Chains A and B, each alone.
Chain A
Amino acid sequence: SQQGEEDPQALSIQEGENATMNCSYKTSINNLQWYRQNSGRGLVHLILIRSNEREKHSGRLRVTLDTSKKSSSLLITASRAADTASYFCATDSYSGAGSYQLTFGKGTKLSVIP
């Protein structure tokens, strides 16, 4: 089953509005990461939050992590049309096979309407 599950699956907002995406996971983690994927392209790393951190900012991005609820949120403020993309959370946890693995959710498809 999915380790990270994003919610909502799709989100459509007007330019200038804020976008909030949520991620829930099941097992203990080392860190949680958010990535963006434009159509037909690879993933671009946005932000990494460690398991002992609660909140992190990067430009217009704000990420929170609640390990007691096994959930994270990504907030994009003052959205722009260029923010249109799919956003994935990925949990980094020990695989039991010799390494830490990233496990991705199915993503939130964000559309920002100009």
Chain B
Amino acid sequence: NAGVMQNPRHLVRRRGQEARLRCSPMKGHSHVYWYRQLPEEGLKFMVYLQKENIIDESGMPKERFSAEFPKEGPSILRIQQVVRGDSAAYFCASSPLGDPTNQPQHFGDGTRLSIL
């Protein structure tokens, strides 16, 4: 059973460009979470999605950032007009169908975004 798959593993963008990060949850998982991690820091929650629905985006900046989890295909975290401060590791996690409370989350290996 494949784990959470994120791609690309590394992404380099110049300031002002767009970054698109992809996440395929584990098979049978319907909850997807995105986190950001700065060096030597813990993970910071960004957004929680179910298929075709954003459930909680309280951790995501209001501008330039958006996320989706379409009916078909992976979840996408999109960052428009990137700035140097967006450089970080972005992690996706998923949890099984059903009540997400008291469920562990399963993490991908992350996308390391570097802004030149």
Name A residues whose Cβ lies closer than 8 Å to a Cβ of B: 2, 4, 30-31, 33, 35, 40-45, 48, 50, 88, 90, 92, 95-107
Contacts and interface: CB of A to CB of B under 8 A. Distances in A.
Interface stretch (B14-22, B38-46, B70-78): B38-46
Contacts of A102: 33, 43, 45, 105
A44 B102 contact: no
A105 B43 CA distance: 8
Interface in B27-71: 33, 35, 40-45, 48, 55-59
A101 B101 CA distance: 9
Contact of B106 (A41, A45, A96): A45
Interface of B: 4, 6, 33, 35, 40-45, 48, 55-59, 91, 93, 100-102, 104-110
A30 B48 contact: no
Query: By CB atoms of chain A within 10 A, which of B4, B102, B110 has the most?
Result: B102
B81 to A, nearest CB: 25
Contact of A97 (B58, B91, B102): B58
A106 to B, nearest CB: 5
Nearest to B110: A42
A106 B41 contact: yes
A95 B42 contact: no
